[in-house]
Structure 1
Amino acid sequence: MFVRYLGFVLLVWFPERLHAQSAVHSCDAPILDDGYLVQKQITYPHEANLMYGCDNGRKPAVEGWWATITCQNGTWSHKPQCIDEKDCIPPDIPNAKYKKSPKGWYDNNQSIYITCDKEYESKNRDATAICSNGTWTSVPVCEKSIETCGEPPKIPHAVIIHQEYQELFAADSEVQYECEDGYTVEGGGTKDNITCIFGNWTEGSACRARPGPVNGGSAGGGTGGRPTTSTGSGTQQTVEVKNCGQQPVVSNGDIVGDDSMFLRYQCAAWYKRVGPERVRCYSNGMWSAVPVCKATFCSVDTDAYRALLSVGVKHFKDGETGKLRCVDQDHWLTDHYSVVRCTDGRMELSRCCGFGELLFC
């Protein structure tokens, strides 16, 4: 008898409990100054839509001359507000950031300064928008930077690791790749890095099949390889490159071509080779002189200079002259720049000058 009574109580109590958990709240009518509500009532049920408009000389603080809000479990989707029709709502500028107004809108004649995302730069160096009589004038455009790289190049027998797929990479981005089983990069490891430098990826080491045992270097015409040429002293002969074992690593350079008698080195973009292009293996197991890849650009970290507008690291080619925007402590100086000169890898920055003074900085 007790069990049947208890079952009856549970059947009565559970539906009420479930109903209480799933109950939603209605919304009270919002307060709107300088405007009017359409179909005004005291309360509005969950998911009800309410339209509103503004008096003459005013407009909603959202896109359009009328707006709609929705009741979402006791809260309106946004607070209805009417602002001066000469004020501006926040602009939509793809791939950019700017300081948000605490009010939610911007006064007439107010300006904003935008900063493009790392992979982008402002078109024509225009980074300022001005609110003028309710619309934004000269809205900046963030376009793909010439320093940005596309997806990393395909490396045979390797995959990019610890990196979600993306189409664009900012300058100085570095990704790591790993060779598949049975393959190694120069030096015997299985991993290497490539870097985005001014729109181009540096060349990574190729993944090559892991070699089996090879003979050591030998003199004369031994089994280690066939002699081809001799050095000026006549005491050393060059043999097949496999006789010297591990190949020399050149920073910012890579081995190109496929020749059994020499290694040919090529430097990455923005680097130039200093020294011999070809490296040979001597019969005593030693390599001939190895080239060096020398940088032909300068880097400027704008975050390290208080006078410069922070735009990250910028690169300038050797012999190139450019300019970087300056900023003071109180407000943006939209027409003041520092002239940058890159000479033989050395960087020089001038004082901040007005646009008309750049030739004399």
Structure 2
Amino acid sequence: MYTAHPDRYVDMPYRRSGHSGLKLPAISLGLWHNFGPERPVTTQRAILRRAFDLGVTHFDLANNYGQPPGAAESALGMAIKADFALHRDELVISTKAGHLMWPGPYGEWGSRKYLLSSLDQSLRRMGLDYVDIFYSHRPDPETPLEETMGALHSAVQQGKALYVGISAYSPELTREAARILGELGTPLLTHQTNYSMLYRHPENNGLLDTLDELRIGAVAYWALKQGLLSSRYLYGIPEDSRAASDSPFLNPHSVTEDLLRQLHALDNVAKSRDQSLAQMAIAWVLRAGRVTSVVIGASSPEQVEDCVAATSNLDFDADELALIDEILQGAGKGA
């Protein structure tokens, strides 16, 4: 029988998401590759338990997460039933829809039919009556934005979601989505975006400025650039790593000699801050409060602990930031 740690809210910083009453933990847990039938249930439950004990109250999913797609939501559903049924009101559970889930013309993108059907399926897999945040996972170039945002609004009206968000939208589409949702009476809560020291597109294309202006929360994923911004690749590519498996997101060609030199230099900066490289990378994304929460992935409870420890030092001085920029020499800034 799981008993949650009584001091779970003592150390975790919580940040208000945009212009809303909802606070998110600085560190959120993403249930992606590491949740599903390929990993022992005991490990999955241990990760979730340790995260919650450390104040990680936000579990982030999508309909297509896991192998097969949907497996991550099913895994969370089992964990909620086993460990978190009494803590549902302490959790923020988010899911998304937009990528391919079933064959035919209604199995992906942003139509009203797909989004609301997908949400119903997600709720069944997780055994929930509602999710806290429902996202449009990606913009649909063919469906009118009014239809996609209208579907998100309907999810709230139907009591199946408390808040809505978007992911991977441009600054221009974000602005228009916020306008449409505002007119419908369902404010846009969050925008989830790829953001790290090695990928600064949200800074350079004006997305973070747009979110600041519109008072929309920024939730960052891949702050560790699929593990590159950690000690895992400092001395080459481990045989059991994601890069070695030649995944669509990371492959052996990603780990270049230039990158390794940069990683070693960044690791030295992290050591001077008494942090691991991963901790510094997370702290860098959370610096100055522009990002509400960083979504991490974890394959063990220890990885959760290491990432959460980043919150103990989120401040950078001007010299540290300048040195990081000098080391990277523009890497990823315009990507």
> Structure 2 length as normaliser, TM-score?
0.21
Q: Which has the higher strand share?
A: 1
In our comparison, the structure showing a higher alpha carbon Rg is 1
Where relative contact order (Cα < 8 A, 6+ residues apart) is larger, the structure is: 2
